[in-house]
Amino acid sequence: MSAGEADVEREVLTVDVWSDVMCPFCSMGDALLTQALEQFGHPVQVRYRSFLLMPDLTSDVPVPVDELLSSKHGIPREQAAAMNEQVAARGQELGLDYRFDRAAAVTTRKAHELSHHAAGHGRQREMIQRLFRAYFTDGLNIADPQVLGDLAAETGLDREAALAALASGEHADAVEEDRRQAEEIGVTGVPFFVFAGRYAVSGAQPLEVFVQALQTSWDETRTAGAQAGS
């Protein structure tokens, strides 16, 4: 094996994911990506980028999701609840437990800051997935620093260090930079996946779409790497 071939063998495919932890389709997309990665079998680094699904939602006071959906779209609360039940049924097909009767909408800025903090300690994926469960299944207030500190500890992070990072706003600029990049590349909805900086997949697409995107990106990245090393 040549040096160039060895470098290609060690190559790690990068997948950037713009999402918001209050977005059920982002949680579904993450579950589908997880299934695709299990089939893929090559090294992949998943990086989560911040996106605020409702940037105007700035309060840390929880609002029932049905109530928020009703007021946002001007529909009866019963209709909003029925829509969420349909989403929950789709999530259940992927093994996700959505309990919209518990979920409470709040600003997700601090949750995104915690994601960046976790990334610095190699725990971002676990943190994002825990935040999804905290919001959709446990009905926790993910804008509450104490709740976020507990979730950090559950994920293997130092609770006090996480709280200090949240209090200082250490990662606030990283959240805004992700949002700026999303605007720059034209991301208007999430989840939004970018494979190897080349291929985009928008939404919680069928599993085979993710598998194909991984394989195509891997093959083309290896080809480009082999050519560069030859």
Average pLDDT over residues 82-99: 98
pLDDT digits (tens, 9 = 90+) for 114-162: 999 999 999 999 999 999 999 999 999 999 999 999 999 999 999 999 9
Map residue 32 onto helix, strand or coil.
Answer: helix
What interhelical angle do 109-119 and 172-184 show, nearest 10? 100
Binning pLDDT at 50, 70 and 90, where does residue 1 land?
very low
Query: What pLDDT sits at residue 48?
Result: 98
Map residue 139 onto helix, strand or coil.
Answer: coil
Average pLDDT, the chain: 93
CATH fold label, 3-229: Glutaredoxin (3.40.30)
Q: What is the dihedral of CA 147, 153, 158, 164, to 10 degrees?
A: -10
Query: What pLDDT sits at residue 173?
Result: 98
Query: What pLDDT sits at residue 204?
Result: 97
10 Å Cβ neighbour count for 17? 21
pLDDT digits (tens, 9 = 90+) for 19-35: 999 999 999 999 999 99
The answer to whether residue 10 scores a pLDDT higher than 80 is no
Average pLDDT over residues 59-83: 95
Binning pLDDT at 50, 70 and 90, where does residue 226 land?
low
Domain regions of the chain by residue span = 3-229
47 vs 9, residue with greater confidence? 47
